[in-house]
Structure 1
Amino acid sequence: MSPVLQGCLTLLAILVLIGLRVPVGLVLGLCAFIGTAALLPLPAAISVMGRVPYEFTASWEFSAVPLFLLMGNIAWRSGLTDGLFRIFELGLARLPGGLAVATNLAAAGFGAASGSSLATTVSIGRIAIPQMLKSGYQPALAAGVCACSGTLAALIPPSIPLIVYGILAEQSVARLFFAGIVPGILTAIAYTVMIVLRCRFTPGLAPAARPVAQPGEVGDLLRRTWPLPALAVLVLGGIYGGWFSPAEAGGVGAMLAMLFAGLQGRLRAAMLWQACVDAARTTAVILFIAIGAFMLTRYLTLTGLPAAVASTVAALDLSPVLMLAAMAVVFLVLGMFLDPFGVMLISISVLLPLFERLGYDLIWVGIIVVKYIEIGLMTPPVGLNVFAVRSIAPDISLPVIFKGVLWFLLAEAVVMILLLGFPGLTLWLPGLLI
């Protein structure tokens, strides 16, 4: 059997095992090791694969992952994000679907602090869904906006998927962060426009709500939430100004989150301990999957499969439009069934040499890949964010949530057309860093 054919069979086995719900990290690492042992003598395979976990985890850039997770957990658990939804609720009350728009924008703000899509979905959903249902909003819209707006955290910096992509693709994490800003804002705007237009032409979706601020409430809300925008500005401004690297920015962000929580009298030992535990647990999950993907990348390089794919596709001389369409199909189909991190890491292992051979800007590719991951978080039959909403709103059925999500997928289609057709939307801001 040729090494290339062996690599293809290994990928097929990986997809089958993941489809059977075997843990992604275990599948990637085990299949990569078995495949390497089939190509090389066992001592050589152990030597090659034994070095991979250290080589990956010793990456300085990866230290940003637990630090940004810690920053987001502290901001959430200390209550720095509690007033976000209420501020947008009061400010957008006159818009059609104002509460849904407030949920969307509050999720974008929360995502800028947490970097975690699931954390954003659950945290905002617990506040927003009961409020929207109480105001007479249709359950599909109330649940759909929470499931979809939570995905903004995967793109708006600090984004954990962008950090992992930057390490695997050997691209600047700082440039990836800034490349995600415009697409993230564009997605939030697309969601807002879609919500407003739907609610204007179908008033029954979202009855008009007129929340009234209590005396002194606005001032109290501003005092409680000002640390959140300050945190985002200081972290991103420090990276842009060259004061610290993305990894150092994670440490600075975590320290600032503790400082702001302390200034507001919300820093407690129990809270800090739980934030550290949550950050460590999430980091371990990401690390386990990423090490397996790194082992798979090393194995596939030995088989020559990525180079063979790149050569074959280059020989077909497909137009850029067809290439982008094929990439979209691959990511969307995989995203319907597999874990989003698994989709990204498996696909990068195979497709990165192809992107390089075709001359695509790998910063732009990273944003497109994360966008497809976002979409995968809300597409059936898996749709992790949809199941997260279901866990906090058990009275709303999955078909109803997916029905609400479909409208947001239409907005995503418009955003993707713009990002694919005009790469400058993604690249002009990181270009300022050069």
Structure 2
Amino acid sequence: MELLIPGLIIIGLLLALLTFGVPIAFALAAAGIVGLVMERPWRGIEFLLSTFAYANTAHFAYVVLPLFLFMGHMAFSAGLSRRAFQLGQQLLGRLPGGLAAATIVGCAAFSTICGSSVATASTMAKVALPEMLRHGYKQRLAAGCVAAGGTLGVLIPPSGILVIYSIITQVSLLKLFLAAFIPGLFTAIVYIAGIWLMVKRDPSLAGPPVTERYTWRQNGRAFVQSWEVLLLFAAVTGTIYLGIATPTEAAALGAFFALMAVLRRPGRWKNLGDGLRETGSATCSIFALIIGAGLFSLGLSTTQFPTHLATMAAGLDLSPTMMIVLILLPYLILGMFLDGISMILITMPIVFPIVTHVGFDPILFGLLVTKAVEIGAITPPVGLNAFVVKSAAPELSLSEVFRGCVPFVFMELFIVAVMIGFPDLSLFLVRD
């Protein structure tokens, strides 16, 4: 136990700084520097700090992050989320809970061009919520499907969390994106099936059924009108899966086509300026977190804390699956309070050595952590996605938003259990 004390001091300092409201990036950096001071001479630390920020971020592969962020902003400004929802509405609107199912389709489609859970939930709240409430949907179903549908934004590629996970753990981003597609599609299908069952059981949740019928020609026209969404999907996800482009090249293609979509619309220059500012601000924040997390990881590893912890975990004589389940449980709690990127950066230096030590597949672990993070984001009492939906639609009751999220939490737990029980669901696309 004595071997763990220096590492526990660093973690305790980090938690104390976060409790006092210190920004996460600075708290991580400060805790890491304290760890270095405990184990190394100051002269070496001074040289390290003078070069660390540049050395830790000057990698061409990191260009993918601002490109995906910019693409998401441009796609939102171009109104592509509305096109995706309208397509889902025409295809599924007449089913029990059809508008809620269409919202999931819209979230899934928008997720292929936006790697953020919060952005997906916020965007679809503005697009889909008014339509569902106008058709008599109960607040809890309307809000719950938007908050839960937003979680698809960080599982279906391009996923911001998977990009950060790849940067921190050095796991192949291409393989993570390949592996994430089937679980993302499976999640959307489970959501739609769950909504259908809920409305079948209690038809009042969805109000009067939608009676408008669409011909094959009208549905075909809706697909044609959604050509920009389909083009972005092909440019990003399609080129990655077909091996035509690397994730960085695909991100550049997606950013270019999203920019072209914005430039075709009124208010183009304002939208472009807003997108550049927001992308720059978000990129700076994320890179500050990456630098802070790098110092925290370095300070923690200097104390040998991850190695000692991994050795102790191996001594528990648990199966790799049981070990991963125990590791995932805290994420369900942390997700109520922290955004996914911060959570990955804070925890990965501690838990990833254990994962590799017990021999669990790091690609599957990345997907499971992503799912656990997002379950926390729709879990009462502080689920971030629920608050995002509430802020986008102030007329909603927060208690109703959380009530609507509860069934989706159970669906998510079922999906996680399937992913753990049948790992080939996630890994067969990346098997050698």
Same fold by TM (over 0.5)? Answer: yes
Taking the aligned partners of 2:25 and 2:3, their CA distance within structure 1 comes to 23
Query: For residue 236 of structure 2, what is the aligned residue in structure 1?
Result: 235
What is the 5 A alignment of 1:23-422? 23-210=23-210, 212=212, 221-262=222-263, 264-265=264-265, 268-422=268-422
Deviations 1:157-202 (A, max 9, x none): 0111111111111111111011110111111111111110000010
1:322, 1:331 → 2: CA distance? 15
8 A Cα contact 2:90 2:214, kept in partner = no
SS in 2 for 1:96: coil
Counterpart-to-counterpart distance in 2, 1:390 and 1:296: 34
Letter in 2 for 1:41: P
Offset at 1:2?
A: 5.9
| Residue pair 1:70, 1:276 contacting (<8 A) in 2 also | yes
Give the RMSD, CA atoms, in angstroms: 2.2
TM-score under structure 2 length normalisation: 0.94
CA distance in 2, matches of 1:72, 1:314: 42
**Equivalent residues of 2:29, 2:293 under 8 A apart:** yes
Displacement of 1:218 in angstroms is 5.6
CA contact (8 A) 1:78 1:266 kept: no
Indicate the larger mover: 119-128 or 271-280.
271-280
What residue identity is the alignment partner of 2:228? Answer: P
One-letter code aligned to 1:402: F
8 Å contact from structure 1 (residues 169, 352) kept in 2 = yes
- The 10-residue stretch of structure 1 (242-251 or 97-106) with the greater mean CA deviation from structure 2: 242-251
Q: 1:87 to 1:191 in 2, by over 3 A?
A: same
Q: What letter matches 2:309 in structure 1?
A: V
Give the Cα–Cα distance (whole angstroms) in 2 for the partners of residues 163 and 144 of structure 1.
Answer: 27
1:246, 1:214 → 2: CA distance?
Answer: 37
Cα offset, 1:213, TM superposition:
7.2
Q: CA, structure 1 residues 185+241, in 2 after alignment: closer, same or farther (shift >3 Å)?
A: closer
Inter-partner Cα distance in structure 2 for 1:335 and 1:259? 36
Kindly tell me the number of residue pairs found equivalent between the two proteins.
Answer: 431
User: By how many angstroms is 1:151 displaced?
Assistant: 0.8
**Cα distance in 1, alignment partners of residues 209 and 83 from structure 2:** 18
Q: CA deviation at 1:130?
A: 1.3
Tell me, yes or no, if the aligned pair for 2:18 and 2:24 is still in contact at 8 Å: yes
Distance 2:11 2:141 in 1: 38
SS at structure 1 position matched to 2:132: helix
Deviation, structure 1 residue 16: 3.6
Output the TM-score relative to the length of structure 1: 0.93
Shift in alpha-carbon separation, 1:260–1:390, aligned structure 2, 3 A: closer
Separation (CA, whole Å) in 2 of partners of 1:120 and 1:409: 18
Q: What amino acid does structure 2 have at the position aligned with 1:172?
A: S
* Contact 1:56–1:294 (8 Å) recurs in 2: yes
% identical aligned pairs? 35
Distance 1:380 1:42, change over 3 A: farther
Secondary structure at 2:315's aligned position in 1?
helix
2:382 and 2:46 map into 1 onto residues whose CA distance is 35
Q: 1:237 to 1:395 in 2, by over 3 A?
A: closer
Cα distance in 2 for partners of 1:269, 1:94 equals: 39
**Structure 1 stretches lacking a partner, 5+ long:** none
Q: State which drifts further: 37-46 or 129-138.
A: 37-46
Secondary structure in structure 1 of the residue aligned to 2:113: helix
Query: Which residue is equivalent to 2:13?
Result: 13
Q: 1:267 to 1:428 in 2, by over 3 A?
A: farther
Q: Is the Cα–Cα contact under 8 Å of residues 70 and 275 in structure 2 kept in the other structure? A: yes
* Contact kept in structure 2, 1:337 and 1:381, CA below 8 Å: no
Paired letter, 1:53? A
Write the distance in 1 (CA, Å) between the matches of 2:87 and 2:129.
16
Structure 2: runs of 5+ lacking an equivalent: none
Q: Does structure 1 conserve the Cα–Cα contact (< 8 Å) formed by 2:152 and 2:184?
A: yes
* Kept in 2: contact 1:112–1:158 (CA 8 A): yes
Give the AA of the match of 2:308: A
Report if the CA contact (8 A) 2:105-2:188 is conserved. yes
Indicate if the aligned counterparts of 2:310 and 2:353 stay in contact, CA closer than 8 A. Answer: yes
Output the CA distance in 2 between the equivalents of 1:19 and 1:377.
20
The amino acid of 1:338's aligned partner reads L
Aligned residue identity for 1:255? F
